[in-house]
Structure 1
Amino acid sequence: MDLKQLPDNPYVLLTPGPLSTTKSVKATMLRDWCTWDNDYNAIVQDIRARLVKLAHGGDEYTAVLMQGSGTFSVESTIGSALPREGGKLLVVANGHYGDRIGVIAERLAIPATVLQLGEMGRPTPADIEKALDADPAITHVAVVHCETTTGMLNPVEAIGKVVKERGKVYIVDAMSSFGGIPIDIKALGADFLISSANKCIQGVPGFGFVIARRSELEKCGGNARSLSLDLHHQWREMEYKNGKWRFTSPTHVVRAFAQAMNELDEEGGVEARHARYSANHDALVAGMRALGYECLLPDDFQSPIITSFMNPAAPAYEFKKFYDELKGHGWVVYPGKVTGADTFRIGNIGDVSPQDIAELLKAVAASMYWE
């Protein structure tokens, strides 16, 4: 169809996902697909292979898709990777999403220790060494790569070196980074790497995925605490039945994701997308600072995915009113999630360019009603 016939969005989403997608991604959802059809299952198999390739996994790794939001895939991994007996999880937490992994372990009755660093704390290899040496019962370590609570980028490769030196299983939540930041899963030492369709690959919400070391995934049989979130069973179904899902799959979302992957290739791959996101971030930070806004994080902790800014100290300022003003100009930003600071967040990912950021900054200036 002529993409010009599709209506424009009333505003641009400057969020960490769902995010603004291209019209061509949205247009692919206008066709219906059958979950049992060979044409559809071939798309699933192609996506799985391409995800492993994006992660530089090679034959040592495989990919499995899981219905639901990204958190479903995180819970599926935690609940399937940890054995029912003799396993213990170390959660490295410096924000809401690290904390959520701890909650998942608690709900699933999985023994766990949460290394709580605070929202402004950044883990170091020494922190991990100390935690592992203090508790030999720990078998698995989980960490968030880009903690979107603040926008902090955690040093997952350095952490991975410590984890693998001690023979532990390494789980990386790369929800908000995979596809937008170059990742070599072998260099990370990651056994499980988790992300979602509606993040940096720029698809729409509906499923997540796990890129897993085959040898570790094969050990997960019988571990799952849930039927629907049994990662090992889902993988076996896809692996041995040519891309078939166990239960009804989000067919439209899968097809949109395949198109989004094509567009990632057309852009020049992850390196090119990372360059665009970084340019967005640099332009955003420079422009916001020129308008008097202060970043929450030091520059060397900051990811190019989402940026936290301090709310203005002006007595008349209210985030909700500022948000509505910006939305009226065609831009949607994110409220803050930090408990110890008064912040809001602006995402740099999605179908957004530095030119769009320039227009956003004009809207920010026009929306500063308290001045």
Structure 2
Amino acid sequence: MSTPTLRDPVFTLTSGPVDAYPAVLRGLSRTIHYDYDPVFLAFYERVNEKAQAAMRLSTPPVILHGEPVLGLEAAAASLIARDDVVLNLASGVYGKGFGFWAKRHCAELVEIEVPYNETIDPDAVAAMLKARPDIRIVSVCHHDTPSGTINPVEAIGRIVAEHGGWLIVDAVSSFGGMDVHAEDCHADIFVTGPNKCLGGAPGLSLLGVSDRAWTKMKANPDAPRASMLSILDWEQAWRRDRPFPFTPSVAEINGLDAALDQYLAEGPEVVWARHALTARACRAGLQAMGLALWPAREEIASPTTTAVRVPDGVADADLRRAARERYGVTFSSGRGETLGKLVRIGHMGPTAQPLYAVVAISALGGALGALGHAVDIGRGVAAAMAAIDAAG
């Protein structure tokens, strides 16, 4: 049986990994230094300083050498102690998924779960903490990518801080694409990575860790040590005079350096604005074509991923296949509970450019037409362009 020949996509408009910036690709091709060469040790310290500036942290972040799932699982294993009660906030597949890691380490897992096209109400969090004062740790996914929705983490963080609890925030697919930072939302462990809105390559986790989180992890006898899951092992690894727990991903650090340079040089506020405009134009075009957004309300829709409902009678796999085969455009499917119900269009890093919204609308509309569900593509394009022009 022969294997069909597949062409590379022309446009990768997925929710991650995304196509990296050209500067990042050049960065990945730099010399692979020996990790204990003084040049690399100094370079690693400088990259950490750039990450601290980008993440707006008071203390150096931790770089774990594995994609952000490593950071999330490490956060659960390190911060959660066996006598802790954990409140997990589940508004989507990834938020729900964190509960499975948390449950391995805690005394009891409590959840607030809402429909996966909705977001968490901070008042519900406050009510739960009042009813259960023994809750010590709260976990929340800021942008639950399989739903394209944004949780109000700053409001939730204030409530958790007033309660005296610790907060774990999954900001993997939001940091760098919108105004979200660990200290603004009182996060004790804030997990992100370079392979989404920073336009980098997958392979690293970036963690903002509060002083009180370090204290709690050090007092937790079950927190991993001498392990791939250890956060504690990397506390001082950013310093050029301290050893690495194991060989760092040198090429990925080169790429991260380039991604951070790009982000800081362009200016975070400018980067956030083009992410938001791209998503706004995309939503306008989709709705003008008669398609429905997955989020229950547009104000909770993400500026980094647009989730659009698949029309009745259309299979999502057929829709994505038609878009790729006919137009060279790759979209993401749903995940878990949202699989088969929606298609996700990513606006992250280099694809967070408003004109890519026109590409997405045209390819999705053309694919729908090819499957017998005709939409007015011209109307969609006109609405997207009007949104772009309105921004000046």
Residues 1:70 and 2:107 are matched in the alignment? no
Equivalent residue number for residue 38 of structure 1 = 38
CA contact (8 A) 2:190 2:209 kept: yes
CA distance in 2, matches of 1:306, 1:110: 35
CA distance in 1, matches of 2:11, 2:64: 28
- How far residue 240 of structure 1 moved from its aligned partner, in angstroms, is 5.2
Equivalent residue number for residue 228 of structure 1 = 228
Q: Deviations over 1:39-89 (max 9, x none)?
A: 22223222222222223222xx331011212111011111111234x3222
Q: Deviations over 1:160-212 (max 9, x none)?
A: 11111111111111111111111243331111111012111111011101111
Equivalent residue number for residue 253 of structure 1 = 252
CA distance in 2, matches of 1:259, 1:103: 35
Letter in 1 for 2:76: I
Letter in 2 for 1:106: K
Counterpart of 1:285 (choices 260, 280, 283) is: 283
Counterpart of 2:273 (choices 275, 278, 284) is: 275
- How far residue 319 of structure 1 moved from its aligned partner, in angstroms, is 2.1
Q: Secondary structure at the match of 1:188?
A: coil
Q: Secondary structure at the match of 1:48?
A: helix
Judged with a 3 Å threshold, the aligned counterparts in structure 2 of structure 1 residues 348 and 94 are, in CA distance, closer, same or farther, namely same
CA distance in 2, matches of 1:29, 1:102: 34
4+ runs deviating over 6 angstroms: none
- How far residue 225 of structure 1 moved from its aligned partner, in angstroms, is 4.1
Judged with a 3 Å threshold, the aligned counterparts in structure 2 of structure 1 residues 110 and 205 are, in CA distance, closer, same or farther, namely farther
CA distance in 1, matches of 2:181, 2:168: 14
CA contact (8 A) 1:337 1:343 kept: no
- How far residue 303 of structure 1 moved from its aligned partner, in angstroms, is 1.3
Residues 1:116 and 2:74 are matched in the alignment? no
CA contact (8 A) 1:175 1:195 kept: yes
1:74-153 alignment, distance < 5 Å:
74-84=72-82, 86-108=83-105, 111-153=108-150
Q: Secondary structure at the match of 2:36?
A: coil
Equivalent residue number for residue 331 of structure 1 = 329
Equivalent residue number for residue 214 of structure 1 = 211
CA distance in 2, matches of 1:365, 1:149: 21
- How far residue 96 of structure 1 moved from its aligned partner, in angstroms, is 0.9
Q: Secondary structure at the match of 1:62?
A: coil
Equivalent residue number for residue 306 of structure 1 = 305
Q: Percent identity?
A: 24
Q: Deviations over 1:5-34 (max 9, x none)?
A: xxx964322122210112221122223222
- How far residue 241 of structure 1 moved from its aligned partner, in angstroms, is 5.3
CA distance in 2, matches of 1:166, 1:109: 19
CA distance in 1, matches of 2:91, 2:43: 37
CA contact (8 A) 2:84 2:106 kept: no
- How far residue 312 of structure 1 moved from its aligned partner, in angstroms, is 1.6
- How far residue 133 of structure 1 moved from its aligned partner, in angstroms, is 1.8
Equivalent residue number for residue 23 of structure 1 = 22
Judged with a 3 Å threshold, the aligned counterparts in structure 2 of structure 1 residues 242 and 211 are, in CA distance, closer, same or farther, namely farther
Gaps of 5+ in 2: 1-6, 375-392
- How far residue 243 of structure 1 moved from its aligned partner, in angstroms, is 6.5
CA contact (8 A) 2:20 2:199 kept: yes
Gaps of 5+ in 1: 1-7
CA distance in 2, matches of 1:162, 1:310: 33
Q: Secondary structure at the match of 2:134?
A: coil
CA distance in 2, matches of 1:360, 1:311: 14
- How far residue 223 of structure 1 moved from its aligned partner, in angstroms, is 3.7
Q: How many residues align?
A: 357
Judged with a 3 Å threshold, the aligned counterparts in structure 2 of structure 1 residues 336 and 239 are, in CA distance, closer, same or farther, namely closer
Q: Deviations over 1:282-339 (max 9, x none)?
A: 11111112222111111111110111111122x3x33222212211312110112363
Q: Secondary structure at the match of 2:60?
A: strand
Cα-Cα RMSD: 2.1
Counterpart of 1:162 (choices 137, 159, 162) is: 159
Judged with a 3 Å threshold, the aligned counterparts in structure 2 of structure 1 residues 214 and 49 are, in CA distance, closer, same or farther, namely farther
